[in-house]
Every structure is written in structure tokens, then in C-alpha cells.
Structure 1
Amino acid sequence: MNTTDKILMDYAMDRNLNQSEKDILSFLIQKKMEGEQLSIRKAANKLFVSTTSILRLCKKLGFSGYTEFIYNLGLKVAKMPDTEAEFLEGIHSPLETKRKEFMQNYELTFLSLNETHVQVFLEQLQKCQKIYFYGAGFSTTFSNYLAKKMELFGYYVSNSSTSDSRALFWNNIQKYELFIVFSRSGETNRVIEKVKIAKNNGLKTILFTGNKHSTNASLADLVFPVIDPTIESQQEFQVTSYESNMMLLIDTLLSLAIQKGIIKEF
């Protein structure tokens, strides 16, 4: 991000500028950076716009007119050292790389969704009012989140993790109609055991995972895989797009259920 872009961002933030207004603002900033003094009429002629358009922009930015805006812009440019621009570029580039990586992984996750599984998932939410949630390790974050959401939507839910005993799980699972489990690797023994118990009790089992080829994936009735960049290295403690993309997937499915009238928002 260069200095011009940084100043433009400062002015444009929360102003809802259209593209034409951004182009005018960018031009005025650039000319000020180059030390060129432009009257409003000369600026309008160079931009092929009316002076009214420039005045409207200045007022939208919170200034009384063009003169006040140009004065403020001069102060802002004077306070912007070259080193700051270089510093911001060092932040912007890796930030943009990570943004693209995270969004690409979510896009791949979304495109890999089995739409039949999505339809069956929605049917299960419509059919079952008693849902048991289960997660291991960091996956408890997802089970806690979805369980709390479903509880707010009026469902009867229970949520447990690997800290609960097998006997406790066995006693509780028989009260429920649907089992939703989160397991990043899909190979945690305690999770595999709970999936088998749930299936033996006749519950439809839905798995959210980072490993669609796992043991749990082979056991579950429905599988929703999320791209996991650590799937081969098995370094699950790395900060990756997996966690945020999992949350996006959950909210995408919930939004679809609400849109179709399966879930009622209070």
C-alpha cells in the first residue's frame, strides 16, 4: 500500500464513496503529493467533471468546501513520512497474501460441498429437535458454538467432549435424535468410539472435519469437510484458515436453514 492509497483510505473509511468519488479523491491526493497546486476549476477540467462534483465530495468527507479540504490534505501529506509508506507496504503485502489464502481455502471448501448432504442436513434439522453435539480438543469450540446457536433457536441440545466418561455419554445419547460431531483429524479414538455408540443407538451422525478420508468420515452418515492446510503435516496447532473457515461453513448452513424457514429466529 503506497502513501496515496493510505491517505485515500483514511479519508474514505466509512464514507460510502462511489468509484467516481474515489477516483476524484485519488487524483487530488496524488497532485498534492507531487506538490502541484490546483484550483477547483483546474482540477475539474483535468478530471473532466464539474466543480459541483468536487464540492459534493468535499462535503461528503466532512469539509465545508474545497479550500478546507485542500488545507487538511496538505497537513496530512506533510505528516506522512516516506518511511511510513515503506512500513505499511511491509504489512500490506503479507496481509493480502493471507487474505487470499484464507478466502481461497473457503472457496474450495464451499465448492466441495455435497449438495445432497446439505439437503439431508437441513431435513434433519427440520425433523430432529433434540441434538447431541460432541467435539475433541479445539473442535469443542465449534461444537460449543453450534450447540449454543441451536439452543437459541429453540432446540433441545447437549454438548460434551472427551472429558466426559463413556458411561455418561451412553446414558445421555439415548435421549437424542441427532448426533453432530466435530473432529479435525477424524482419527481421535474417543471420538470414533462415540460415533459408533451413536450409530448403534440409531442416531443419524453428521461429521464436520478437516479429513474426509478419516475413520470418522467412513462411519458418519453425512460429512462436511473443511480444507485443512495441515492435513499432511499433522501440525494442527498452526494458525491456519481451518478454524475461521469452519465458522464460515457453520454460519453458511445456518443462514440457509433460516432462509428456507427450517430454523426460526426469535
Structure 2
Amino acid sequence: MLFSNEMIASFNELEMALYNYISQHSGKVVYMRIRELADETHVSTATILRFCKKLNCAGFSEFKVKLKMELEQTKKARLNSPQQSVVEFFERTLKGDLDEKIKEAAELVLEANNVIFIGIGSSGILAEYGARYFSSLGKFSLYIKDPHFPIHSKLTANSVAIALSVSGENPFTVTHLHQLKQEGIKIISITNQKLSTVAKLSDLNIPYYVTEEFVEQSNITTQVPVIYILESIAREIHKQLT
């Protein structure tokens, strides 16, 4: 990475002006001559060369090569269509033992006095949705975001936690699960694959197997399978309660 947080923090006023221009016109800069960039940014060519050396580039030409390579690496990824993601989920998962796992999860929840949902980011949003959906269908549930949230001993007795995580490696979720397990709480996890840390910490893991997708640093993997699994568990619970 050309521009790390530490590097940006070290820039002086002129270097910051250069950085701002380059970050906003990177596609244009890779084809500019040093004199053209100097004219556009109102700095000297010597300042640009010092800027390049600060970025561990021998000169302006090497800087442009590295900038172009970085641009190519961060081009917007081609995303699967929603239909393709759903088909992938059904083909990979529904041919397996998903129905059995959903019934097993429903039984664990029915046996529990309390249900706690956990997750962070988009998984946290779905955890909150899951808690509301379960409560609407007759099994009161709570979404707890803070791993340090004080849980009364009455809540930990005969309780089950439902953890949501795409990668199954989120440090927040892993830490939260460790704390819940120490309280004797049973864990159901819904992850994108079964070999993750979250899955291994769980009493029951329900994997859904879709291709993970990223745009720059953001994980934008479809969450449709998670909604399907959550609603299926809740409906199974409701069926057994009525």
C-alpha cells in the first residue's frame, strides 16, 4: 500500500496537497509528466521527487508504476447477481442436512430459558433482526452487542446464544463466544463455512456456503442465506409451540 495511515500522518502541508490531488485524480496522474503534476498542484518538481522518495520510490516513474498497480488491484470487483448467490446457496446447502440442523437448532432454543443473539457489522444487524423475529413468533430473545454487557446469572442459566458471522473469524464475536461459554451458555452459530473459529466454538454450527465477495475492504457477501436459516428456525419453533 502506497499510502498507509502512518505515512499520511507524516506528510507536511505541501505533501498533503500532493496526496489530496493524487487521491482524487489517480487515474489521471499515472499518465502525467512530473512537470504537469507540479503545475496542477502548484509545487516544485523537487517537492514531488522528495514525496516519491518518502513513499520508497526511486523517482516519479516508479511512483506512477506502483500507483497504477494499486489502482488495478482496487478496481471494483465484478459482483455476482442476487439470483446467482441464492442459487449457489440452494445448490450447495439444501442438498445437505440443513433441515436436520434447523430442527436441532429449534430444539436447543425450545429447551432454553433465554436466547441471546450476537454479531457485529452486517451480522449484528441480522442478529438484531433475528431476536425480533424469534420474539414475534413466541420465543423471547435479546440481541447483545457489547461483550462486556452485564448478564444476570438468571439469564445465563439454561441459555443458548445464536452467533452470526460470515467469516467465522471476527475477533469481537470470538471473544464474545469465549465469555458466553465460560458462563455455560450453549452456542449455535451460523457461518459461511464450518471450519472457522466460531464454528469450532459452537455446540451446533449451521454453514451456508456461498462465495464471499469484497469491494475494496468491505465484505458484501449476500446475507440472504442467513435470513432464510433464521426464519426457518423461528418458524420451526413456532410450529412446535402451537
User: Given the two structures, how large is their TM-score scaled by the length of structure 2?
Assistant: 0.57
- On the 8 A contact 1:133/1:181 being kept in 2, the answer is yes
Is residue 196 of structure 2 the alignment partner of residue 214 of structure 1? Answer: yes
Give the aligned partner of residue 206 of structure 2. Answer: 224
What amino acid is the match of 1:194?
A: H
- Higher Cα radius of gyration: 1
Is 1:112 matched with 2:96? yes
The size of the alignment, in residue pairs, is 164
Q: CA RMSD in A?
A: 3.1
Partners in 2 of 1:256 and 1:157 — Cα distance?
15
Give distance in 1, aligned partners of 2:177 and 2:138: 25
Whole-Å separation in 1 of the counterparts to 2:94 and 2:216 = 23
Quote the offset at 1:111 in angstroms: 2.4
Match of 1:132 among 93, 106, 116: 116
Out of 243, 249, 253, which is 2:229 matched to?
Answer: 249
**1:84-125 deviation line (CA, Å, top 9, x unaligned):** xxxxxxxxxxxx965244223233222233555333212112
* Structure 1 spans left out of the alignment, 5+ residues: 1-95
Q: Distance in 1 between matches of 2:94 and 2:83?
A: 16
Query: Which residue identity does 1:178 align to in structure 2?
Result: V
* Contact 1:178–1:205, Cα closer than 8 Å, also in 2: yes
Q: 1:174 to 1:253 in 2, by over 3 A?
A: closer
Mapping 1:82-231, distance limit 5 Å? 98-114=82-98, 116-161=100-145, 164-166=146-148, 168-169=149-150, 171=152, 174=156, 177-230=159-212
Rounded to whole Å, the distance in 2 between the matches of 1:169 and 1:182 is: 20
Residue 188 of structure 2: SS of its match in structure 1?
strand
Relative distance call for 1:110 and 1:174 in structure 2 (3 A) is same
Matched, 1:237 2:215: no
- Identity %, equivalent residues: 19
**Counterpart position of 1:262:** 240
Q: CA contact under 8 A between 1:131 and 1:176: conserved in structure 2? A: no
Runs of 4+ in 1 over 4 A off after TM superposition: 169-173, 233-236
TM-score normalised over the length of structure 1: 0.53
In structure 2, what is the Cα distance between the partners aligned to 1:224 and 1:234? 26
Alpha-carbon distance change, 226 to 237 in structure 1, aligned in 2, over 3 angstroms = farther
Query: CA–CA distance in 2 between the matches of 1:234 and 1:187?
Result: 19
1:154 maps to amino acid: G
Instruction: Judge conservation of contact 1:182–1:208 (CA < 8 Å) in 2.
Output: yes
The structure with the largest helix share of the pair is 1
2:127 maps to a residue whose letter is: S
State the distance in 2 between where 1:121 and 1:211 align.
17
In 2: Cα distance, 1:135 partner to 1:200 partner: 18
SS of equivalent residue, structure 2 residue 144 = strand
Q: CA–CA distance in 2 between the matches of 1:98 and 1:122?
A: 28
Shift of 1:183: 1.1
Q: CA offsets, 1:190-231, max 9 Å, x none?
A: 211111121221111000111321111111000011223117
With over 3 angstroms needed to count, the CA separation of the structure-2 counterparts of 1:130 and 1:97, relative to structure 1, is closer
Deviation (angstroms), 1:171: 4.9
Q: 1:158 to 1:229 in 2, by over 3 A?
A: same
- Over 3 Å counting, the alpha-carbon distance change for 1:98 and 1:202 in structure 2 is closer
Give me the whole-angstrom Cα distance separating, in 1, the residues matched to 2:216 and 2:95.
Answer: 25
The 8 Å contact of residues 103 and 236 in structure 2, kept in 1 or not, is answered as no
Question: 2: CA distance between counterparts of 1:165 and 1:248?
Answer: 26
Structure 1 pair 114/130, CA: closer, same or farther in 2 (3 Å)? same
CA distance in 1, matches of 2:215, 2:209: 13
